[in-house]
């Protein structure tokens, strides 16, 4: 992957909010759009985005031309998921009447920040799918790594990685052998 495309970042953003969309789908289940309830629409969008997320990560993990990185230091970044979940809380704060429009405006603002900030790794669904997020430092760079073996990463280990986005990588399956 030479770099992540904008539509892929968009799918990853949508997947990060899929739990919230499903909750909101329950709230607006009485509203219909094209003979489908909002709940069904949010469920379909959520499932498509989660399947896409897994597909993108797993295809990157099978990269035939991975980069090599020697680990100098490791920092657990899973805490960013908790911080991100705080945005969910704001949606549930009591207001007189939260509309679908205000919800969509809120999500659009978050989308713009998400895309401009390269925050594709900030996704609570990654934790639900048993991926971990770590910050790795090598001699000449600092990256964010999406991995399934956070507890088995060792300082001075050479690992193979595949790029998802600027400074965001996924560990390849070759490291699991």
Pairing of strands 132-137, 73-76: antiparallel
pLDDT at 86 > cutoff 90: no
User: Model pTM?
Assistant: 0.75
Rounded to the nearest integer, the mean pLDDT of the chain is 80
Determine the angle formed by the axes of helices 18-27 and 38-61, rounding to 10 degrees. 170
- The CB density around residue 147, as the number of other CB atoms within 10 Å, is 22
Estimate to the nearest angstrom the gap between the alpha carbon of 22 and the chain centroid.
16
pLDDT level of residue 2 (50, 70, 90 thresholds): very low
Strand partners for 177:
none
Q: Using CA atoms, how far apart are residues 67 and 86, in angstroms rounded to an integer?
A: 34
Q: What is the pLDDT of residue 72?
A: 92
């Amino acid at each position: 992957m030479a770099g992540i495309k904008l539509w892929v970042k968009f799918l990853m953003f949508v997947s990060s909010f899929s739990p919230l969309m499903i909750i909101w789908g329950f709230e607006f289940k009485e509203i219909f759009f094209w003979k489908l309830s909002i709940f069904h629409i949010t469920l379909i969008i959520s499932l498509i985005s989660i399947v896409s997320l897994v597909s993108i990560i797993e295809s990157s993990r099978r990269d035939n031309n991975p980069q090599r990185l020697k680990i100098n230091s490791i920092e657990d970044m899973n805490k960013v998921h908790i911080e991100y979940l705080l945005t969910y809380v704001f949606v549930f704060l009591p207001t007189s009447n939260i509309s679908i429009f205000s919800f969509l405006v809120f999500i659009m603002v978050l989308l713009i920040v998400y895309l401009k900030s390269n925050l594709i790794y900030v996704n609570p669904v990654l934790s639900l799918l048993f991926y971990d997020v770590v910050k790795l430092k090598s001699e000449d760079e600092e990256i964010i790594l999406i991995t399934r073996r956070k507890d088995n990463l060792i300082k001075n280990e050479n690992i193979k990685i595949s790029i998802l986005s600027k400074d965001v990588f996924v560990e390849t399956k070759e490291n699991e052998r």
